[in-house]
Amino acid sequence: MSLFHEFCLQGNRAIVVDEPGVTRDRLYGRSFWGDHEFVVVDTGGVLNVSKSQANVMEDLAISTTIGMDGISLLSREAAVARMPSMIERQATAAVEEASVIIFLVDGQAGLTAADVEIADWLRKSYSSKYIVLAVNKCESPRKGVMQASEFWSLGFSPIPISALSGTGTGELLDLVCSGLKKTEDVENMDEEENYVPSIAIVGRPNVGKSSILNSLLGEDRTIVSPISGTTRDAIDTEFVGPDGQKFRLIDTAGIRRRASVASSGSTTEALSVNRAFRAIRRSDVVALVIEAMACITEQDTRIAERIEKEGKGCLIVVNKWDTIPNKNQQTATYYEQDVREKMRMLDWAPIVYSTAITGQSVEKVIVAASTVEKERARRLSTAILNQVIREAIAFKPPPRTRGGKRGRVYYCTQAAIRPPTFVFFVNDAKLFPETYRRYMEKQLRSDAGFAGTPIRLLWRSRR
């Protein structure tokens, strides 16, 4: 049974096929999986879903030319020898069109020279495509993991499946669907280039938010356009940072119309927290301003928690740095220790010291915000990601339970950006305690960066 049939015959489970039919030698069927609806087309060994199918919400292209349907008919030598023409005739067109490529290999036959060559070809020619490596004929889940592990050297994360029994095809489809989102991102590259991140400057009253804003928008800054905010109390401004990056600055009444809300003490404080929450929601990156000589209060930590919870990028701006007397080289280090101690939830956020009234260092705020935004939208290659994780596990394996059970990570993939989200496929998520999850996050950060952005680790059991 081909993978195509497996996909299309899952009607009784989560995949439903509407109208299978034969057109121009192409067998196609409409399916859906989760929130995704797509067309699967089989071109005799090439499973392909093309963008030209107008009435589909999402498109999926799968190529099995380079899998059991195509290659299993050939001897290994013949496969290698015939591959270029085979790729030319069958696979190239399908892969070219494909949104997602499933690279299907034979788990029982093991790794072949043809697999290596095809992997190289895919990597070289289609590095921007989302490629899923499926290891077929892994009927036994336990043995399947072993069978699949042999294929790590191809540079993609292998997923054991059995087209015969249906084992693993659900996970495969999950991954394919997460790839569809990724592909959309790639296809919308122009849109991505035009993406204007929003920065919110938040903090307690009087810490210097409007001074920073004025300094940012002052003199030689190019103000592109004032934009009416979507809420009554916000007036956004687009401007261009020093590296040419466009930003939208979210201004709140707390900054622009401070006088009108001037009231005493706690009311102003409460108002400013709510305003900060609203600004955070609309932002990509938050500059959380605190005052150098003042203590970090509960209000600051509430804002900090909210930033983390909403998955926004963040930099901590320590303003009024000029008011610290007798500064020396250690001052910033001591100060940083204090901030880290009190704002543990933002231990990944860079700290910038500024003196807004002189404009000193304010430029650093925008440069840091620009870096943070890039980190928040960064994708890590699956190969590097899994290498980092393998090393982290080798250094410190998950703890054993009293019953002697131990968590195992099969592989990991980055499922989303803004914020970067990683899905760990494991034997049993319950075998990974909170401490171990934190350890993994720390390792991921220390080996792969992501400064200034929260990252999400999702643990998914696969039995």
Angstrom distances, CA of residue 18 to CA of 15, 296, 305, 354, 410? 10, 60, 47, 61, 34
DSSP state of 75: -
Among 186, 345, 357, 393, binds ligand GDP (CB under 6 A): 357
Q: Does 296 bind ligand GDP (CB under 6 A)?
A: no
Angstrom distance (rounded) from CA 116 to CA 137: 19
Q: Which is closer to ligand GDP, CB of 268 or CB of 301?
A: 268
Q: Does 369 bind ligand GDP (CB under 6 A)?
A: no
Q: Which is closer to ligand GDP, CB of 63 or CB of 211?
A: 211
134: tokens are 């499926």
Q: Does 36 bind ligand GDP (CB under 6 A)?
A: no
Q: In what order do the strands lie in the sheet containing 456-461?
A: 409-416, 421-426, 456-461
Q: Among residue numbers 247 through 286, which ones bind ligand GDP (CB under 6 A)?
A: 255, 258
Q: Which is closer to ligand GDP, CB of 306 or CB of 320?
A: 320
Cβ neighbours of 222 (radius 10 Å): 11
425: tokens are 């496929």
273: tokens are 């927290």
Cβ 50 to ligand GDP shortest distance, Å: 54
Q: Exposed, middle or buried by CB within 10 Å (0-12, 13-18, 19+), for 203? A: buried
Among 72, 149, 210, 331, binds ligand GDP (CB under 6 A): 210
Q: At residue 104, what is the residue type? A: L
Q: Does 376 bind ligand GDP (CB under 6 A)?
A: no
Q: Does 107 bind ligand GDP (CB under 6 A)?
A: no
Q: Does 157 bind ligand GDP (CB under 6 A)?
A: no
Among 64, 183, 319, 386, binds ligand GDP (CB under 6 A): 319
Angstrom distance (rounded) from CA 368 to CA 310: 20
| 8 A C-beta contact, residue 385 and residue 414 | yes
Q: Which is closer to ligand GDP, CB of 65 or CB of 319?
A: 319
Cβ neighbours of 100 (radius 10 Å): 24
| 8 A C-beta contact, residue 111 and residue 158 | no
Angstrom distances, CA of residue 269 to CA of 200, 253, 283, 303, 365? 17, 13, 21, 12, 24
Angstrom distance (rounded) from CA 234 to CA 9: 53
Cβ 13 to ligand GDP shortest distance, Å: 56
Q: Which is closer to ligand GDP, CB of 258 or CB of 418?
A: 258
Among 306, 320, 376, 462, binds ligand GDP (CB under 6 A): 320
Angstrom distance (rounded) from CA 86 to CA 140: 32
Q: Does 153 bind ligand GDP (CB under 6 A)?
A: no
Q: Which is closer to ligand GDP, CB of 320 or CB of 376?
A: 320
Nearest to 245 by CA among 285, 282, 205: 285
Per-residue burial over 51-72, b = 16 or more CB atoms within 10 Å of its CB, e = otherwise: eeeeebebbbbbbbbbbbbbbe
| 8 A C-beta contact, residue 318 and residue 353 | yes
Q: Which residue is nearest to ligand GDP (CB)?
A: 208
Q: Does 355 bind ligand GDP (CB under 6 A)?
A: yes
Cβ 447 to ligand GDP shortest distance, Å: 36
Q: Which is closer to ligand GDP, CB of 257 or CB of 460?
A: 257
Q: Does 323 bind ligand GDP (CB under 6 A)?
A: yes
Cβ 284 to ligand GDP shortest distance, Å: 21
Q: Does 37 bind ligand GDP (CB under 6 A)?
A: no
Q: Does 205 bind ligand GDP (CB under 6 A)?
A: yes
Angstrom distance (rounded) from CA 47 to CA 26: 9
Q: Does 385 bind ligand GDP (CB under 6 A)?
A: no
CB under 6 A: which stretch of 32-40, 43-51, 199-207, 224-232 binds ligand GDP? 199-207
CB under 6 A: which stretch of 219-227, 351-359, 404-412, 429-437 binds ligand GDP? 351-359
443: tokens are 């390792």
Nearest to 40 by CA among 206, 180, 160, 202: 180
Q: Does 306 bind ligand GDP (CB under 6 A)?
A: no
| 8 A C-beta contact, residue 286 and residue 209 | no
Q: Which is closer to ligand GDP, CB of 70 or CB of 208?
A: 208
Cβ 340 to ligand GDP shortest distance, Å: 22
Residues 6+ apart with CB under 8 A from 445: 348, 451, 455
Q: Which is closer to ligand GDP, CB of 259 or CB of 394?
A: 259
CB under 6 A: which stretch of 14-22, 159-167, 234-242, 318-326 binds ligand GDP? 318-326
Q: Does 310 bind ligand GDP (CB under 6 A)?
A: no
385: tokens are 């990601």
User: Which residues would be at the binding site for ligand GDP (CB under 6 A)?
Assistant: 203, 205-211, 255, 258, 319-320, 322-323, 355-357
